[in-house]
Amino acid sequence: MPEGKIVKALSGFYYVLHNDELIQCRGRGVFRKNKVTPLVGDEVVFQAENELEGYILEVKERKNELVRPPIANVDQAILVFSAVEPDFSTVLLDRFLVLVEFNHIEPLICITKMDLTNNEQNKLIMEYAQKYRSAGYEVILTSSETESGIEQLNPHLNHKISVFAGQSGVGKSSLLNVLRPDLELKTNDISSHLGRGKHTTRHVELIEIGEGLVADTPGFSSLEFTNIEAEDLTACFPELLQKSENCKFRGCLHISEPKCGVKQAVESGEIPAYRYEHYVDFLQEIKDRKPRY
């Protein structure tokens, strides 16, 4: 039986990409078999007489699943932050990074609107970029206006499913427009998706950019730490995780425990103070969360 990837779901049909062909499928067989609702991003086994009358027979195991927008098997989140307008926010970036790490998605930090920075702002962004790179993250500085940095971003999209994420106004649609200028009609579509309010029902579609697939709707529309427990948080900060190997106590949360490898690394300057402060704030937020019954 052939296999493919669902790239679009609309009005009860699933559009399965198979050898560069789109096969319109219904999900009937799959509901009978393993009671799973297929999602955009799913790898599926299907059967089709022709390209308009297919059936999805099986949904392969997912590596992850986002709720809003509903999409499976996301490989990469492109975290879009503007250098200015709005100003670069490390606390918001760290929040996105936690959510992305927790979902086992590879993050890529893209800082946009570099053409709008003055010397001082430019220097500040360079310093932050260096800090995030030292923590192990890929950081790309771009401008959709001058198209600088775009050629660096392009290869990172290949052979992956990516979602863009970030506050509204940071330049996500502009970036997509530069990456896929030929999608003119569709990019208008994209802008309206990206600007859409919370209560409208969303449909997601994966669009091809180079040799990759990109969701046309931004991911991580909820920034709550709903499913994250206190003991999960260290692993969402790679440089803290690394230094936690030196903590004396197993399960150290790096707050007031003695002989804490993380706090030592903050004191020596190996871990930037603001990253640790965000960790502490997020931990408190998780502890203060009302229990759900």
- 5-26 burial string, b = 16+ CB within 10 Å, else e? bbbbbeeeebbbbbeeeebbbb
To ligand GDP, the closest distance from the beta carbon of 259 in angstroms equals: 44
**Residue 171 or 212 having the CB closest to ligand GDP:** 171
Question: Of 117, 162, 173, 244, which lies in the binding site for ligand GDP, with binding defined by CB under 6 A?
Answer: 173
Q: Return the one option of ligand GDP, Zn ion, none that residue 144 interacts with (CB less than 5 to 8 A, by type).
A: ligand GDP
* Interaction partner, residue 260 (Zn ion, ligand GDP, none; CB < 5-8 Å by kind): Zn ion
Does residue 240 bind Zn ion (CB under 5 A)? no
Closest residue by beta carbon to ligand GDP: 171
Q: In whole angstroms, what is the distance from residue 222 CA to residue 12 CA?
A: 26
Nearest residue (CB) to ligand GDP, 143 versus 244: 143
Show contacts with ligand GDP in window 233-252 (CB under 6 A).
none
* β 138-141/212-215 pair status: unpaired
Question: Of the listed pieces 81-89, 139-147, 225-233, 251-259, which binds Zn ion according to CB under 5 A?
Answer: 251-259
Question: Binders of ligand GDP among 19-78, rule CB under 6 A?
Answer: none
Give the interface size with Zn ion as a residue count (CB under 5 A). 5
Helices (H) and strands (E) in the chain, counts: 9, 13
Strands (E) across the chain are located at 3-10, 13-18, 21-26, 43-48, 54-59, 65-66, 71-72, 76-82, 106-112, 138-141, 161-165, 206-209, 212-215
Shortest distance in whole angstroms from residue 243 CB to Zn ion: 8
Among 114, 247, 265, 271, binds Zn ion (CB under 5 A): 247
Pattern 117-156, binding to ligand GDP, x per CB under 6 A?
--------------------------xxx-----------
**Rounded alpha-carbon distances, angstroms, from residue 288 to 91, 226, 229, 236, 291:** 18, 11, 11, 19, 9
* Torsion angle in degrees (nearest 10) through CA of 291, 73, 106, 85: -80
| Residue 271 neighbours by CB distance under 10 Å | 25
- Minimum CB separation from ligand GDP for residue 165, in Å? 10
Please, what sign has the CA dihedral across residues 250, 285, 91, 274?
Answer: negative
Residues forming contacts to ligand GDP in the complex (CB under 6 A) are: 112-113, 115-116, 143-145, 168-174, 194
